[in-house]
Amino acid sequence: MVDVILGLQWGDEGKGKIVDYFAKDYDVIARFQGGPNAGHTLYVGDKKVVLHQIPSGVFHQGTVNLIGNGVVLDPVTLRKECEVVASFGVDLKKNLFISERAHLIIPTHRALDKAAELSKGNDKIGSTLKGIGPAYMDKTGRNGLRVGDLLHKSFTTSYIRLRLKHQRLLDNYNFNEDIAAWEEEFFDAIEFLKSLNIVNGEYFINKKISEGKRVLAEGAQGSMLDVDFGTFPFVTSSNTISSGVCNGLGIAPQKIKEVIGVSKAYCTRVGGGPFPTELNDETGEELRKLGSEFGATTGRPRRCGWMDAVALRYACMINGVTQIVMTKADVLDSFERLLVCTAYKIDGTETTQVPFQMLRSPIAPCYQQLEGWKMDSTAIRNEEDVPPTMKNYIHFINSKVGAPVRYISNGPGRDQIIKIYS
Ligand code: GDP
Ligand code: IMO
Ligand code: MG
């Protein structure tokens, strides 16, 4: 069977830590979408590691890690990541596998991402500029190059053809940054990539499933950044929700069992786009400071706000979430009162649904107020030590979103997690 861990908000919910925590119970950890726009933080001992494309199970001996066909892969980032992971003694030749169907991010994809963002002016998405959008456009536009193409002698010709096509687009944008250095790095990195295990991902993973191995699919970004269901156009370019597991790995839907959704105890977002519960005040600043809310990939300050139960309920619905892991509960330790948005008021009407367009009319969040727990929660490991006010907070969320919070994460450390039975 296959279980899934994915983000329920706008990314950075703590998926890396949670996948690392659960990985010990699985044989295969597989990334199914996204690319180096992701930054998944975990701790190996007291050392912090940020993974971008390599699945977050990689530090567990006995797991194998698959980069699925749904990922857009940047060989340059991959090589750097591999060097970091290998410095911990992990043998990537043994435990990292890459689908030959994964599309490649080439240097001109990054240039196009930059040029497209610049051309949008004030309407820019706030992309991580890693080339994600252009690479997925080449996939759906049927122009892209795939990892498996690297092994064929026609690769250089295909690369030059695609690069020329991109150059014409870049000329249209008047983009004239020199990307020669990026290309040099790229060609070095693809030699490295060719030395890794390139496999037919769909046969690989289905064989594991038929052998009774346990598979954990790791999502990147978050449900509100899904290209279909997120806050379009301020989204990423892939299906970040549970349906993405099927086409990002080649797994049939009936194989999926648990859908574990990761949500912060509050909300953050990095980049542009609607964010109904955003706090542009001291409280927002406090959340940013206490939660160290700065992007793991770009270092940008994250926008912060109260828990949005309307968006969370929507995310639980479209993903079929069976359990929630609520992270960063400790960030709320010092707050006297906590607000949870339970409805949106739009043009004078209250709704508990996420609207099609979140920017057309201003959205006023309707809040319910709950009491904070006002204690240092970071050392709690057992449910019986969870203060009633914290229990009340999660029970309130359970009742609003229709899925149970089964774990509370109360610090970035590997062991800072509490299992909740009731
Ligand atoms: P991801 O992209 O979903 O994997 O999340 P990121 O790694 O981008 O951001 C999550 C940040 O929060 C990282 O710095 C984590 O180390 C940290 N983190 C994860 N869980 C917790 C938690 O429960 N409490 C606190 N204080 N930090 C956490
Ligand atoms: P993880 O996996 C948070 C955001 C960007 C931007 C939008 C589009 O670490 O949770 P893109 O680079 O995909 O063109 O950017 O999506 N974004 C993320 N925000 N966490 C991420 O990944 C993100 N990946 C992309 O900031 O608003
Ligand atoms: Mg992140």
Q: How confident is the prediction for the chain on average, in pLDDT?
A: 97
Averaged pLDDT for residues 170-193: 95
Longest dimension (CA), the chain: 65
With cut-offs at 50, 70 and 90, classify the pLDDT of residue 418. Answer: very high
* Model confidence band, residue 281 (pLDDT cutoffs 50, 70, 90): very high
| Ligand 3 ion: Cβ-proximal residues, 5 Å cutoff | 12, 39, 296
Predicted local confidence at residue 298, as pLDDT: 85
Best residue for ligand 1 mutational test, from 325, 328, 332, 335 (most atoms within 8 Å of Cβ): 328
pLDDT above 90 (res 280): yes
Looking at residue 134, what is its pLDDT? 98
- Rounded to the nearest whole angstrom, what is the distance from the C-alpha of residue 127 to the centroid of ligand 2? 7
The pLDDT assigned to 295 comes to 87
Is residue 40 among the annotated active site residues? Answer: yes
Ligand 1 atom closest to the Cα of residue 408 is 23
| For residues 381-398, average pLDDT | 98
> Following DSSP, what letter does each residue of 242-311 receive, concatenated?
THHHHHHHT--GGGEEEEEEEEESSEEE-SSS--TTB--SHHHHHHHHHTT-B-TTT-PBPEEE-EEHHH
Is residue 377 over pLDDT 90?
A: yes
Ligand 2 pocket, Cβ-based, cut-off 6 angstroms: 7, 10-12, 34, 37-40, 125-128, 130, 132-133, 220-222, 225, 236, 270-271, 296
405 pLDDT above the threshold of 90: yes
Measure the CA–CA gap between 139 and 147, rounded to whole angstroms.
12
Q: Is the pLDDT of residue 273 over 90?
A: yes
pLDDT digits (tens, 9 = 90+) for 238-250: 999 999 999 999 9
- Kindly report the number of other CB atoms within 10 A of residue 152's CB atom: 10
Does pLDDT of 176 surpass 90?
no
Average pLDDT over residues 170-196: 95
Average pLDDT over residues 343-366: 96
Ligand 1 lined by 330 (C-beta under 6 Å): yes
State the Cα–Cα distance between residues 139 and 360, nearest whole angstrom: 31
pTM flag (> 0.95): yes
Q: What span, in angstroms and rounded, lies between the C-alpha atoms of 306 and 368?
A: 11
- The whole-number pLDDT of residue 193 equals 98
pLDDT of residue 277: 98
Q: What local confidence, expressed as pLDDT, does residue 255 receive?
A: 98
The arithmetic mean of pLDDT across residues 277-300, rounded, is 94
Q: For 50-65, what is the mean pLDDT?
A: 96
- CB of 15 within 6 A of ligand 1: the answer is yes
Residue 284 predicted with pLDDT over 90: yes
Q: Please say if 12 is a catalytic residue.
A: yes
pLDDT in tens, 202-240: 999 999 999 999 999 999 999 999 999 999 999 999 999
- Residue 77 Cα to ligand 2 middle (Å): 16
> How much is the pLDDT for 226?
98
Question: Taking 90 as the threshold, does the pLDDT of residue 296 lie above it?
Answer: no
| 191 CA to centre of ligand 1 in angstroms | 33
**Of 40, 60, 103, 166, which one is the catalytic site residue?**
40
Q: What is the DSSP string of 183-241?
A: HHHHHHHHHHHHTSEEE-HHHHHHHHHHTT--EEEE--S-GGG-TTTSSTTSS-SS--S
- What pLDDT is attached to residue 240? 98
The mean per-residue pLDDT over the stretch 164-181 comes to: 94
* Per-residue model confidence as pLDDT tens digits over 7-42: 999 999 999 999 999 999 999 999 999 999 999 999
